[in-house]
Amino acid sequence: MLVSLVLLSLGALAAVLAPRLVSRADWSEREPIVALWVWQCVVASVLLSFALSMTFSAAAAWQLVRGHVFAPAPHGVMEAYALGADEPWPAVLAVILALGGLWTLAMLAREIKEARDRRGKRRTELQVRAPLLPGETPGSERLVVLEGERPDAWWLPGTAPQLVITTAALRRLKGSQLDAVLAHEQGHARARHDWLLHCSAALANGFPQIPVFAAFRDEMHRLVELAADDVASKRFGRLTIALALVELNEDRGVFGPCPTPDAQLPQRVHRLLAAAPRLTAGRRLRLTAAAALVPVVPLLVAFVPALRALG
């Protein structure tokens, strides 16, 4: 069936070309929230193309599926898709794509479980290092201070999210820098960046050979930090959050000549200090609208035969 093959080809083409096209954009660091939206729309388009291809392949292969898919369709629409061909490939394609969908769900479930296990382990360690005082209830304090010689701060999500900060970090952070760090972490929590990271990691780990999913994971890790930096800088200024990042990380060697796992930190600080102007509101709106239209393309391809049949 032609529509199923076109949708499969469209998804494969987008999966290969989209990372190159989006990565060339020179505005992503200036508008990380818009860039996050663009990446989500691109990945949604790829997944939707594969899902629709699976649906039409299954409809071509099995009468039962065909009856459910085209039950609400007007007379003549099903005939426009030429589903009656007796060929083996629609069933094979539908099974392969269905297995891919199940594998994606399994990878997402594993990612969520591992994240919960890590969060539970960190909460257990937190209770050991900062035991509750008489009368306190777990999660009642939004800010937890730990005794530690290494400056560090992190957000612990969950039903009762908490910001954990070490005494060394408190000694280093001056003025409103602590408030800026808190605003940064709250920006992650309000935007539910943890779900973006879970989904991108599940897709990349489940399908490491597909370029768009690997790029999606890498860009999510980078862009969520930039977006949270912008949330903090809007309230406390770019210089404040930049100095806070330096104070928290200068002893880890991330600002030296040798690359480290936190190699993006110098780039984040430079971006904050450079203070590049944002895009105009009109251009942000156009980019947002254009990205929202990307998942519409596979829908249009899927409904072209039906629209032609209806005149």
- Using pLDDT thresholds of 50, 70 and 90, give the confidence band for residue 170: confident
Instruction: Return the CA Rg of the chain.
Output: 24
Q: How far apart are CA 2 and CA 58, in angstroms?
A: 13
Q: What is the pLDDT of residues 48-77, one digit of tens each?
A: 999 999 988 888 888 888 878 777 777 777
Cα–Cα distances in Å, from 175 out to 192, 239, 253?
A: 28, 12, 24
pLDDT over threshold 60, residue 287: yes
The lowest-confidence range among 20-24, 35-39, 176-180, 267-271 is 20-24
Q: Record the tokens describing residue 12, joined without a space.
A: 């494969």
Residue 115 is predicted with a pLDDT of 86
Provide mean pLDDT across the span 205-223: 92
- Per-residue pLDDT of 224-280, as tens digits, reads 999 999 999 999 999 999 999 998 888 776 766 655 555 688 889 999 999 889 899
Is residue 202 a contact partner of residue 104, using CB atoms and an 8 Å limit?
A: yes
Spatial CB neighbours of 41, under 8 Å, sequence gap ≥ 6: 291, 292, 294, 295
Residue 99 pLDDT more than 90? yes
Average pLDDT of the chain, as a whole number: 86
Torsion of CA 213, 194, 228, 216, to 10 degrees: 0
Here the tokens at position 100 are 């891919």
* pLDDT: which is higher, 106 or 305: 106
CA distance 103 to 216: 18
Percent of the chain scoring above 70 in pLDDT: 91
pLDDT of the residue at 150: 85
**Using one digit for the tens of pLDDT, what is the confidence trace for 103-131?**
999 999 999 899 889 888 888 887 777 77
In which band, very low, low, confident or very high, does the pLDDT at 163 lie, cut at 50, 70 and 90? confident
The pLDDT, as a whole number, for residue 304 is 85
Which pLDDT does position 140 carry in this prediction? 56
Half-sphere exposure of 263 (CA within 13 A, CB side): 6
- Tell me what percent of the residues of the chain surpass a pLDDT of 90: 42
Give per-residue pLDDT as tens, 31-51.
Answer: 999 999 999 999 999 999 999
Mean pLDDT of 17-26: 86
